Structure 1
């Protein structure tokens, strides 16, 4: 009899817990991307390498949610980057260097806290036919060339609900400097609008450069407007950016590619322009982009990048890819052709690779 009661109690507990378990979800996902890359035009000559994260950064991630009732959910995401060619961790050895956050999602929007992408960077990615990857990566000249590097630590982010195709993003990050609440702090925002085949987005970022070595210096301020229009047979991409202040435009091949520089490496006043195309046909897709950096400073260190790419989908989760890119540096500018996670060594590069997502 006791055994029968225990079995009945266990069955009731399992039944009671089933709905709650059904409302919760945890997903494990990832990307493994490898490519053969040849770089040229650098001071050391040609470099040929088998490397990871060319089309997209190799990663493993965990995301999930819990239904709290009343239309509110708790959400989290933990994403770790790695080098598939060596097994080393990415993002300078950080355990969850790509992203890690926790927050609440409901009818009034979503609030998350942790290490997260900046709205300015996501605006740049939207405009880039290469999606901030491959050797045609816009980060070679745009997104990383500014104070709005791709991620912010110590970030509080709010994303509004979408109304009539419009939503708003707001971010703030503390510099966490003792006795100085403004030192190193960051603020950003984006306004996003979608209507049928058209998507428009404006992104802005402001970073206080006050550090031990940059006391009382100018803030870095970056603004960008981007547009994508899907004609069906092709997508047209365009963006225009304005960068002002110390560290508002820095060369990607510095000693700290995942942070901002302690001394200015390029212009403190520049304009950016991007034009691009994506042409999908069946399992194939062609990509092309032109990017121009207009240095408004005294040195006039302009640069232009032209890139071509090709993707072939073997399945929904596996693709082959190839790309070529070249940068024309002027008056001592030193922009280099990199990829999704590497800065590169010269002014031109070719890659061919494979990517699998799970």
Structure 2
């Protein structure tokens, strides 16, 4: 639960016909999360390493500002500015962007929210309720690093909730303006005269979600351009993901899973894969929650598959502070070299074990 600092700025906005003043509310929030991880088989020689992770612990660290102004008749002006932080060095994340997690402004009303700017897209939103581990250091995000970085630059987005139905979409004219490297900085700024397809990205979401159960599906296709990462070096290259995800409550336990079908047409050729995942989250005590997940990546026409097992126990010292421990195992087959820890390394075809302990505080 975010501990907000409500500034209630009482700005002298335009006075309405009734004489009341519009009020702008700004919320400052953040999350600080770091720990230590020990990983085996980090290279071909089988060496182990102990380190403080940069990308995430149980959740990525961040500092954010969120605001809203009541415009009357149920309409609000809204904005979000959110920076990613690397707790091990204090540097900025998401390709060294100042507000790399989100930088958007929009309008929110009874028919949904329309936003402009850098924002999370529908692939990100689709997995939030079905992935019990979320952006944990050991998770399905190690298998597909795009999933926790599913954001789009230069985007217009829409998200609407109608009773239990959720509908959303984003359209980006240039999906990633940073060339710093990594899954969140892939050098595809787009907006090229004469080539509207260059670095374009489209995502969509349709779902039905209640407290007891939910099901959704998402679609995500991104195009490349000259110099873009991951082999998408032409606007004729593309990377497509289709997800189907669900969850349901069995008493106090949450059971959730899904599948991510991926097709990549890159300069190096065609790659097709499916990522299956299933997890359980259960409060083992009033202040403790156990999360466990199994996942498998199946690469078609290849033996470069991987299977992952992860468990995490979180103990809440308060509503805002928790300590946690996590263990995991990644089994790589053939030429697969997927590290158990997000952003880590592993020897080709080697299995990897990891343990992690950390501290998280939200404000």
TM-score (norm 1): 0.83
Give the conservation status (yes or no) of the 8 Å contact 1:121–1:143: no
Aligned to 1:50: 52
Per the alignment, residue 243 of structure 1 pairs with 262
Structure 2 partner of 1:227? 246
The residue that corresponds to 1:153 in the other structure is 153
Q: CA deviation at 1:124?
A: 2.6
* Equivalent-residue separation in structure 1 for 2:345 and 2:21 (angstroms): 52
Is 1:142 the counterpart of 2:144 in the alignment? yes
Query: What is the match of residue 7 of structure 1?
Result: none
User: Does the 8 Å CA contact 2:274/2:297 hold for their aligned counterparts?
Assistant: yes
Q: Shift in Å at residue 267 of structure 1?
A: 6.9
- Relative to 1, partners in 2 of residues 1:105 and 1:294: Cα closer, same or farther, differing over 3 Å? same
Report the CA distance between 1:294 and its aligned residue.
0.7
Aligned mate of 2:193, from 178, 184, 192 = 178
For 1:36-65, what per-residue CA distance to the aligned partner results, in whole angstroms no more than 9, with x for missing partners?
111221116211123453111111100000
Change (3 A) 1:352 1:212: closer
When you count helix as a share of all residues, which structure comes out higher? Answer: 1
3-state DSSP of counterpart to 2:123: helix
Mark the runs of 5 or more structure 2 residues left unpaired by the alignment: 1-11, 175-190, 347-351
Cα 1:149–1:353 shift into 2, 3 Å: closer
Separation (CA, whole Å) in 1 of partners of 2:145 and 2:88: 25
Q: Distance in 2 between matches of 1:331 and 1:126?
A: 32
Q: How many residues align?
A: 320
- Which of the pair has more CA radius of gyration? 1
2:21 counterpart SS class = helix
2:338 and 2:345 in contact (8 A); partners too: no
- Structure-2 residue corresponding to 1:355: 360
Aligned-pair CA distance for 1:218: 3.7
Assess if the C-alpha contact under 8 Å between 2:104 and 2:116 holds in 1.
Answer: yes
Q: 2:299 aligns with which of 277, 295, 302?
A: 295
Alignment match, 1:38: 38
Distance 1:216 1:319, change over 3 A: closer
Q: CA deviation at 1:122?
A: 2.3
* Other structure's SS at 2:157 match: strand
SS in 2 for 1:92: coil
Does the 8 Å contact 2:223/2:235 carry over to 1?
A: no
Give the TM-score of the pair, scaled to structure 2.
0.82
Q: Which residue of 2 aligns with 1:312?
A: 315
CA distance in 1, matches of 2:115, 2:242: 23
Residue 149 of structure 1 and its aligned partner are, at CA, apart by 4.3
